[in-house]
Amino acid sequence: MERFFKHFHRKRDGRALYLYGLKPLEASPLPELEEPLAAASHLRWHPLRGEWVVYAAHRQERTFLPPKEHCPLCPGREGGFPTEIPFSDFQVAVFQNRFPAFVPDPFPPPEGLPVPVEAARGRCEVVVYTPRHTGSLASLSEEERRLLVEVWVDRYQELYAQEEVRFVMPFENRGEAVGVTLHHPHGQIYAYPFVPPVLEREARAFREGAVLEALFPHLSPYRVDEEGGLLAFVPPFARYPYEVWIAPRRRHPGPWTFSEEERWAFARLLGRVVARYDALFGEPFPYVMVFHASPKGEEAFFHFHVEFYPPKRTRDKLKFLAGTELGAGTFVVDALPEETARLLKEAL
Amino acid sequence: MERFFKHFHRKRDGRALYLYGLKPLEASPLPELEEPLAAASHLRWHPLRGEWVVYAAHRQERTFLPPKEHCPLCPGREGGFPTEIPFSDFQVAVFQNRFPAFVPDPFPPPEGLPVPVEAARGRCEVVVYTPRHTGSLASLSEEERRLLVEVWVDRYQELYAQEEVRFVMPFENRGEAVGVTLHHPHGQIYAYPFVPPVLEREARAFREGAVLEALFPHLSPYRVDEEGGLLAFVPPFARYPYEVWIAPRRRHPGPWTFSEEERWAFARLLGRVVARYDALFGEPFPYVMVFHASPKGEEAFFHFHVEFYPPKRTRDKLKFLAGTELGAGTFVVDALPEETARLLKEAL
């Protein structure tokens, strides 16, 4: 890919905004949504599960909710309503979340609690995939998706450069079934000041063996799609009926070490996996998509991969997480990975 | 409590049914729902998270779904439609789940998979709290709730006596928001052939220190209710806005070592916690309730407690588990435990 262009803007409320494009950006600011960064988050230690819980108590008190016809993720317009992105010319935009779980300069944590507390230092960003109000990872053009890969790499590098950050996770919650209320195509990035429990466990597994590389020769019944050194497959141990993973055959700690060919292949596979999902039931398919790149310090062993968790069991039925999943951590699945892999393979 | 009465019935399809009552039971069988136990479950090892996933593939193929007006958990009636409980006289009934995650005699697991597999040996039971079609833990009489405590103790003892069982968990999923479709008051019990990940972590915490006992002297802002040596409180590290735990002050591995006073107190507190939940928004409050008793072999340290996970953030808003919770295992909560504890305390 040729070079891309990046423009930094400090919003009037102090929050950072980054615009990305394939051509030089025409950067003249328009009316902008002002909302100072809330900073009342803190961490509390859960002594039984052995994990941090994040309290972002300001999130119940959101002062601003745009009327439905005013999408805060749309580009600004001359004389239009204010949005988060007071520019008309960009292809991808990233800005600091107004109601973040983690902030660069958090208030001190409360005192006198019966469990350990910490400041919730870190970053939370919103990634707007396109200026267009509708669409998905599947409907972006090849070049737009390719730029988006470059944006994720840029954010990984900038966020991992922060002293306090231990793990960076781009993710996307898609669809009302997973609680999404803004329909403009977008994802998020959390930069955590600790290694979250799921990543601790994955890092331990990779330290003990090349788990994914050992799996690849046996994936034939599970393969959904493939391109330029990357695989899309239903893991043989899927916890959601239509769970899909994307991973490079060669071990990479994150997409920042991908070759040019792997970057294009990653962009294309992301689009095609979402297109397969949408084709499955002939309607936009809800999912939670998470990127698992290496936490800081695990780069020698960790194997980057993307995990999609769709909440659907069938067209009309949701998989609810309940007693055994939430209370014991053991998932009960009523569809076989071999079967859902076949359906997703045949969907396109 | 005086002694209770228990009647065993082998259903015509082979499944076990236990009836419990405070008086001798009039046990003459009525028409019964026949559905042979499906046995196609198996376990697969998730090598990255390091946990077992249960495949109960038969669950998508349920052959029998009763019409809405025919509740399968209601008592049988002379000349009525067949139900799971072909008896009219009982106070609590327990039967083997027709579509279980774990079975006493599972089929052999599939061969040739690229991850370790195991048979899904264990038990899954349904606990019908009352013959009445409507109600909740809160609306049972004192004596009914007290009998229910005795039933749980009986099930714990019988299930832990099975060689293959490593952990037994009674739980209740309540409300459509957590996916429940049968409204007759009931819970379930899973008897696992392994120690599930959440319990592994809790057992490790208790081996390292008396975590709950250390917390009790500091719970004043978190206390919701209290009776006869048991506490109900919002944990200072709650992962759900209205999470409540019930625990005995003295360490017990499970309710089977409770004193007579503690059994009554447990029955009363369970009822009052649910009554507080229902009073909070003036409507039945959805939740997942799980019992965390000691896994086999951890009895010397483990401290029994009950955890309620309600999916509501406010009267109208659900807390969705999404990117950070499902993909990283880190919960972000937007209500402070001190505040929700006060609301639940004032609710009754």
Radius of gyration of chain A (CA): 20
Question: Which DSSP state fits B299?
Answer: T
Best probe of the A interface among B115, B324, B336, by most A CBs < 10 A, is B324
Identify the weakest region by mean pLDDT among A4-18, A254-268, B163-177, B300-314. Answer: A4-18
> Active-site residue numbers of A?
186
What would the two tokens of residue B215 be? 């917390």
Answer whether B55's CB lies under 8 Å from B113's CB.
no
Residue A62's pLDDT is 53
**Chain A nearest CA to B209, separation (Å):** 10
**Chain A nearest CA to B197, separation (Å):** 6
Pick the more confident residue, A40 or A44: A44
Which residues in chain A touch residue B59, judged by CB atoms under 8 angstroms apart? 332, 334
Q: Which CATH class is domain B198-348?
A: alpha beta
Q: Is A184 annotated as a binding residue?
A: yes
Q: CB–CB of B205 and A45 under 8 A?
A: no
Average pLDDT over residues A250-275: 98
Average pLDDT over residues A117-124: 96
Q: CB–CB of B330 and A51 under 8 A?
A: yes
A vs B, Cβ pairs < 8 A, gives 225
The chain B residue lying nearest A217, using CA atoms, is: B114
List the single residue in A322, A326, A334 with the smallest CB-CB distance to B57: A334
Residue A147's pLDDT is 97
Q: Does the active-site annotation cover B186? A: yes
For residue A64, pLDDT beyond 80: no
Count CA atoms within 13 Å of residue B197 on its CB side. Answer: 19
Q: CB–CB of B238 and A335 under 8 A?
A: no
d(CA B48, CA A200): 10
Answer whether B202's CB lies under 8 Å from A49's CB.
yes
- Parts of chain A belonging to CATH 3.30.428.10: 1-194, 197-348
Q: CB–CB of A323 and B113 under 8 A?
A: no
Q: Is A71 annotated as a binding residue?
A: yes
Best probe of the B interface among A173, A318, A332, by most B CBs < 10 A, is A332
The chain A residue lying nearest B117, using CA atoms, is: A237
Q: CB–CB of B328 and A188 under 8 A?
A: no
Residue B59's pLDDT is 56
Q: Angle CA(B273)–CA(B277)–CA(B279) in degrees, nearest 5? A: 115
Amino acid making up residue A347:
A
Which residues in chain A touch residue B239, judged by CB atoms under 8 angstroms apart? 46, 53
Residue B123: its H or E element:
strand B123-128
ipTM computed for the complex: 0.95
Average pLDDT over residues A328-347: 96
CB count in 10 Å sphere of residue A204: 13
The chain A residue lying nearest B167, using CA atoms, is: A328
Answer whether B169's CB lies under 8 Å from B289's CB.
no
Residue A345's pLDDT is 97
pLDDT tens figures, A285-337: 999 999 999 999 999 999 999 999 999 999 999 999 999 999 999 999 999 99
Q: Which CATH class is domain A197-348?
A: alpha beta
List the single residue in A53, A115, A237 with the smallest CB-CB distance to B46: A237
Average pLDDT over residues A190-206: 98
Report which of B157, B159, B189 is spatially closest to residue B173, judged by C-alpha positions: B189
Best probe of the A interface among B165, B237, B303, B305, by most A CBs < 10 A, is B237
List the single residue in A215, A235, A335 with the smallest CB-CB distance to B57: A335
Most distant CA pair in chain B: distance in Å?
Answer: 59
Per-residue b or e along B55-86, where b marks 16 or more CB atoms closer than 10 Å to that residue's CB: bbbbbbeeeeebeeeebbbbbbeeeeebbbbb
List the single residue in A52, A212, A292 with the smallest CB-CB distance to B330: A52
* 3-class secondary-structure state, position A44: strand
**Chain B nearest CA to A274, separation (Å):** 17
Q: Is B70 annotated as a binding residue?
A: no
DSSP string, B173-230: EESGGGT----SSEEEEEEESS--HHHHHHHHHHHH--HHHHHGGG-GGGEEEEETTE
Choose, from B186, B252, B292, B305, the residue flagged as catalytic: B186
- Parts of chain B belonging to CATH 3.30.428.10: 1-194, 198-348
The chain B residue lying nearest A202, using CA atoms, is: B48
Across chain A, what does the average pLDDT equal?
93
The chain A residue lying nearest B171, using CA atoms, is: A323
d(CA A133, CA B202): 45
Q: CB–CB of B201 and A53 under 8 A?
A: no
Residue B63's pLDDT is 46
- The CATH number given to B1-194 is 3.30.428.10
Which residues in chain B touch residue A215, judged by CB atoms under 8 angstroms apart? 47, 114-115
Residue B67's pLDDT is 67
The chain A residue lying nearest B338, using CA atoms, is: A113
pLDDT tens figures, A122-165: 999 999 999 999 999 999 999 999 999 999 999 999 999 999 99
Which residues in chain A touch residue B235, judged by CB atoms under 8 angstroms apart? 46
CB count in 10 Å sphere of residue B288: 27
d(CA B46, CA A279): 28
CB count in 10 Å sphere of residue B158: 17
Residues 6+ apart with CB under 8 A from A121: A102, A103, A104, A105, A106, A164, A193
List the single residue in A113, A178, A204 with the smallest CB-CB distance to B236: A113
Q: Is B133 annotated as a binding residue?
A: yes
Best probe of the A interface among B43, B59, B326, by most A CBs < 10 A, is B326
What does DSSP say about strands B167-174 and B287-292: parallel, antiparallel, or unpaired? antiparallel
Within chain B, which residues score under 70 in pLDDT?
A: 2, 58-68
